[in-house]
Structure 1
Amino acid sequence: MKLTGECFCGEVKYEINGSLRDARSCHCSRCRKVFSSQASAYAVIDASEFRWVKGVELLTTFKSQKDFGFQFCKRCGSTLCGTYKDQVHGITLGCLNEDPNIEIGRHIFVGSKASWEVIPDSIVQYEKNSPEDS
């Protein structure tokens, strides 16, 4: 499956020749800030299936903790991907151009979600990280 994505201003573009997996939404305070939203929407990819197509010189990286970081467009500020050990680890679902044919399977760190957010009880939720990430 080929997917494409881009930042808000369209100056940074990428493509994925593969599938997304492990889509999740994180509600921790760090993700709320990096995504400027109530939570993240993120899916894991294989780095070997990811390629920057345009605007790599406009990327900036912020290391949020040891080995982990996020890459942004310097021009418009869109958060495009997460990195692990300087390799693209996953992408933000909001920057995709096509339907990724994936659903968010779990909500993590709901114990620190914003007080104004309401998550339906029917959604798979974890107070902190899910067991498969521990």
Structure 2
Amino acid sequence: MTLTGECFCGSITYKIAGGVSDARSCHCSRCRKAFSSQASSYAQVSAAEFAWTHGQEFLSSYINEEGTGHQFCSKCGSTLCGIVEGEIHGITLGCLNEDPNIEISRHIFVGSKAAWEVIPKSVVQYAEHAPHDD
């Protein structure tokens, strides 16, 4: 499976020569700010299977003291991927062009979700990380 993705303005594009895994939605206050939304929708990807195909010069990065962060388009602001210790760790599902044939398996950090967000009780939820998160 090959997946492609792009930012909102189309200046940055990428491809994934394989699939994505471990899709989750994070409801922490930091993700709400980074994604300007109630949560982030994110899936892991192998760094070896990921490649920027156009517009890499428009990438901006935010990396915190622990070496984790995200990369986004400096023109339109779309958050494209997550970075851990200098390598791409995962991608935002909203920027994919194709159906990744995956579903969000869990909602994490719901203990700090926005007061105005209602999450159905039927979905898998964790107050913080799920027990198997790395």
Relative to the length of structure 2, the TM-score reads: 0.98
Distance in 2 between residues matched to 1:99 and 1:83, nearest whole Å:
23
Q: In percent, how many aligned pairs have the same letter?
A: 64
1:22 aligns with 2:28: no
Query: In structure 1, what is the equivalent of residue 78 of structure 2?
Result: 78
Aligned length in residues: 134
1:65 Cα deviation from its structure 2 partner: 4.3
SS state at 1:31 partner: helix
1:113 aligns with 2:113: yes
In the TM superposition, 1:1-134 aligns within 5 A as 1-133=1-133
SS state at 2:40 partner: coil
Misfit runs of 4+, over 3 Å: none
Distance in 1 between residues matched to 2:45 and 2:56, nearest whole Å:
18
SS state at 1:129 partner: coil
Letter in 2 for 1:62: Y
Letter in 1 for 2:106: R
Q: 1:65 to 1:131 in 2, by over 3 A?
A: farther
Relative to the length of structure 1, the TM-score reads: 0.98
Are 1:58 and 1:75, in contact at CA under 8 Å, matched by a contact in 2? yes
Structure 2: give runs of 5+ residues left out of the alignment. Answer: none
SS state at 2:127 partner: coil
SS state at 1:132 partner: coil
SS state at 2:30 partner: helix
Distance in 2 between residues matched to 1:121 and 1:89, nearest whole Å:
29
Distance in 2 between residues matched to 1:86 and 1:53, nearest whole Å:
19
CA RMSD of aligned residues (A): 0.8
